[in-house]
């Protein structure tokens, strides 16, 4: 969850324009900050669409100039926004070095770099990084309880998932090497890493078919690998579902035991709804809900 949160930020001053802009940029519960968020999301989406459009040969040929201009406009706007973000917080460096600050910087730098290094190839790489900007939209999820619960359950099952992925990768190495030996370069298995790529593609039931076994033995090994994958695909689902179901159960358990009676003698709370006497001092409890 921490990745999706802004660092602990404080406004640079207690009043004045910086305080006002701090509220607009970093808070999300006033009308003006809401409008700012919506405008920002709109601009990010538009700039991503421009980058996408520029990559389509047909559009690039026709509107190359317009797209280039729009790109610079977006970059300037995001630069101003970045400057404002730094100007209105008490500790600018803390923000600049946070994950969100770095993403903000990475989403404007590439356009400026493209002036110094005119190589078209590197330019393209740069455009891609700007897309990470999209992650900022996800900041909204921190307000949606649902999103938090999903990420929470994923986070709590991270060690189980790591053990699972390690086991999968071990199987992948062995089957990748086996297929390299059995099928060989003439059927597309040109090296062990290629065989591992094929094994991952197969075990995860993606199955591109760009590389496929052609010998009877290779097909038999592939079938075994598929059946292994078919049987263990249950594991991540099982881990996650059990974890999520347990969260839901605990949540409903907490709701179900909202007995708010305090003991009149010792003050202890959190009694069983059916309890008649305080479990700590033995004093008679008031009737529930009465």
List the interface residues with a second copy, window 212-231 (CB under 8 A).
212, 214, 216, 219-220, 222-223, 226-227, 229-231
Does the footprint of a second copy cover residue 239 (CB under 8 A)? yes
Candidate residues 167, 217, 257, 264; the one interacting with a second copy per rule CB under 8 A: 167
Instruction: Tell me the per-residue interface mask from 105 to 144 with a second copy, x by CB under 8 A, - otherwise.
Output: ----------------x--xx-xx--xx-xx-xx--x--x
Minimum Å gap between C-beta 135 and a second copy is 6
Contact window for a second copy (CB under 8 A) among 9-17, 32-40, 66-74, 173-181: 173-181
Cβ within 8 Å of residue 180, ≥6 positions away? 189, 191, 192, 194, 195
Are 280 and 266 spatial neighbours (Cβ–Cβ below 8 Å)? Answer: yes
Q: Which of residues 49-68 bind a second copy (CB under 8 A)?
A: 51-52, 55-57
Minimum Å gap between C-beta 113 and a second copy is 15
For residues 80 and 227, which CB has a smaller minimum distance to a second copy in the complex? 227
Minimum Å gap between C-beta 75 and a second copy is 17
Minimum Å gap between C-beta 199 and a second copy is 9
Does the footprint of a second copy cover residue 257 (CB under 8 A)? no
Q: Which of residues 259-278 bind a second copy (CB under 8 A)?
A: 266-272, 274-278
Element of type H or E holding 288: none
- Cα 282 from Cα 284, distance rounded (Å): 7
N-terminal to C-terminal alpha carbon distance within the chain: 42
Number of residues that bind a second copy (CB under 8 A): 107
Are 71 and 47 spatial neighbours (Cβ–Cβ below 8 Å)? Answer: yes
Radius of gyration of the chain (CA): 28
Burial call 152-181: b when 16+ CB within 10 Å, e when fewer: ebeeebeebeeebeeebeebbeebbbbbbe
Within 10 A of 263 (CB to CB), how many other CB atoms are there?
20
Candidate residues 24, 178, 183, 261; the one interacting with a second copy per rule CB under 8 A: 178
Backbone angles phi, psi at 11, to 5 degrees: -65, 150
For residues 80 and 266, which CB has a smaller minimum distance to a second copy in the complex? 266
């Amino acid at each position: 969850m921490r990745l999706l949160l802004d660092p602990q930020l404080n406004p640079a001053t207690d009043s004045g324009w910086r305080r006002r802009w701090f509220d607009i940029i970093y808070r999300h519960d006033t009308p003006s900050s809401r409008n700012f968020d919506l405008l920002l999301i709109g601009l990010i989406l538009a700039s991503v669409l421009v980058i996408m459009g520029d990559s389509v040969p047909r559009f690039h040929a026709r509107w190359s100039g317009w797209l280039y201009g729009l790109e610079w406009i977006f970059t300037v706007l995001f630069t101003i926004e970045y400057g404002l973000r730094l100007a209105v917080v008490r500790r600018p460096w803390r923000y600049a070095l946070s994950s969100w600050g770095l993403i903000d910087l990475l989403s404007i730098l590439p356009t400026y770099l493209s002036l110094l290094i005119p190589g078209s190839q590197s330019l393209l790489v740069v455009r891609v990084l700007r897309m990470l900007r999209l992650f900022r939209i996800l900041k909204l999820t921190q307000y949606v309880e649902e999103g938090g619960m999903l990420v929470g359950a994923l986070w709590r099952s991270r060690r189980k998932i790591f053990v699972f992925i390690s086991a999968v990768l071990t199987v992948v190495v062995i089957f990748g090497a086996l297929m390299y030996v059995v099928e060989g370069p003439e059927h597309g298995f040109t090296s062990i890493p290629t065989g591992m790529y094929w094994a991952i593609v197969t075990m995860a039931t993606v199955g591109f078919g760009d590389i496929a076994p052609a010998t009877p033995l290779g097909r038999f090994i592939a079938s075994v690998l598929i059946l292994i994958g078919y049987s263990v695909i249950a594991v991540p689902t099982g881990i996650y579902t059990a974890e999520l179901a347990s969260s839901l159960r605990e949540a409903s358990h907490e709701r179900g035991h909202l007995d708010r009676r305090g003991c009149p003698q010792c003050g202890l709370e959190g009694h069983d709804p059916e309890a008649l006497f305080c479990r700590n001092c033995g004093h008679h409890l008031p009737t529930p809900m009465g």
